[in-house]
Each structure stands twice: as C-alpha cells, then as structure tokens.
Amino acid sequence: MMTSSIFSIMIGIGICDAISMVIAIYDKHIIEQLYGDECTPPVSLFIYRTFWILSALREDVIRCSQWLGILMALIRYLSLKFVTKPKFQRMSRIRYGFYATGISFALSSVLSILNFMRTKIVESGTWSPSEKCDMQIENGSTLIAYGLLESEVFLANNGFYFRIFTLANSISSRLLPCIVFPVVTILLIIEIHEAKKKVLTSSLTISAERTTSLVIFMAVTFFIASLPTGVFTFFSVMNTDIGFLYVIQTFH
C-alpha cells in the first residue's frame, strides 16, 4: 500500500482533515465573540475577514476530503475490476494519487471561492457597552459592528443565481457523496468476492485485501457520519425555495 495511489490519497485526506480541525479550533473563539452577550465587543474588520476566509477554506478541505474518499474507493474498485488492463493499473501508482488530490482541491476551491464571493462584509451598526458591563472603551467612543450581506451579483434576477449556486453547492458537497460513496463501496465488496474466486491466496493477495479492507472501513465510517447531513440536505434542496422545484418552475 505504501507505493499505491491509496497511500498518497490518504495523505491528502489526512492533510485536509488536519487543516479543518485547526481552523475549527480557531473559529470557535471568534464565534463566541460574534454571538456573545451585550457585554462582548464586536470583532474588528480584519478578524471578521480572516474568519470568513478560514471558514471558506475549511469548507474547501472538507469537501475535498469527501471527494478523495470516494476517489480512493473508486480507484480500488477499478484496479480490481480491470486487473489485466494496464490503463487502469496506472491509476494505482502513488503519483496518480497526488495528482488526484491536487485536482480535487482545485475543483473544490472553485466552489469555495464562489461561496466566498457570494457575500460581502458590511457595517451593520455600532456597539458600546451597556451600563451593567464592567468595561470601558478609550475616549468613550463606540465600536463598529460588522455583518454579512449577499452580493448584488448573486441577488440579480430575483436571486436566481444565488439559488442555482446554493443548489449546486449542496448537491456536490452533501448529497452526492452520501449517494456515490455507498454505491462504490457496494461495488467494491462485490468485486472482492469475485476476485477471491479467481486469485489464489498469496502474500500479494493478502496485502491487497488489507488495503481493500481499509478502504471499505473508511467508506462505511464516512457513510455513517455523513448520512444524516445528506438526508437533511436532500429534503431541504427538494422543498425549500432553493430547491429543484423552484428551479424547474423558474425555467418554465
């Protein structure tokens, strides 16, 4: 496994998950300030902008990690299904996994950049501590509070572009992974049983089975963790004003 694309893809998944965890820890403190009580001062424009950029990056790496998990299971399935075809066996090389990781991150970044551009940071008012707050501001001045506002571009045509993007982002980030991952995993399990009937047990076969078992384990755990979110997103996309029904009615 150390020389296969599964290993390099797992490195990519590990990096994405590590970045997501670090950003989540950092964002937790900013969220506490954003949604604090009346005695909590608002964050500065720099902190707010940094928070929004990191949130977009976290969404990017989470989506990329999901796609890489699907790709890992798909590569394993294809390498077993077409074991005699060199074209598919090249997908098992370690450098292919690094290429796939880079391409997945680039494609995921496109959606994250669009999502970042979907809103802009504006001044939402001013803040000053109430009398019961045990704090003072220099010179008795007030602080500027910031908030997010939808971009004019996405709100054009009665928000049609916003709805289209939200629909595409929801499907690619939540719905499709929960559908495709189990399907590929089931195909992989079926192919394993077929391969066992054709190949005799050897050290190479045992190593391949361990790699496949790891892929299946990761697929099952991902499915269990992501299924509730996927189901919720499915019904939200179907029934809200950003869903399939709205888009179909708009075109008609």
The string of DSSP codes covering 140-180 is G--EEEEEEEE-HHHHHHHHHHHHHHHHHHHIIIIIHHHHH
Q: Per-residue pLDDT tens for 100-149?
A: 889 999 999 998 888 888 888 888 888 777 777 766 666 556 778 888 88
From residue 47, alpha-carbon distances to 44, 54, 173 in Å are 5, 10, 27
Predicted TM-score of the model (pTM): 0.74
Cα 188 to chain centroid, rounded: 23
The domain spans of the chain are: 5-251
**How many Cα atoms occupy the beta-carbon half-sphere of 104 within 13 Å?**
24
**What's the mean pLDDT when you consider all of the chain?**
75
127, β-bridge pairs: 143
Q: Which DSSP symbol is given to 4?
A: B
From residue 239, alpha-carbon distances to 154, 162, 232, 250 in Å are 21, 16, 11, 14
CA distance 40 to 57: 26
From first CA to last CA, the distance across the chain in angstroms is: 52
Q: Per-residue pLDDT tens for 180-219?
A: 877 887 887 787 777 666 654 444 455 556 666 766 777 6
How is domain 5-251 classified at the CATH fold level? Rhopdopsin 7-helix transmembrane proteins (1.20.1070)
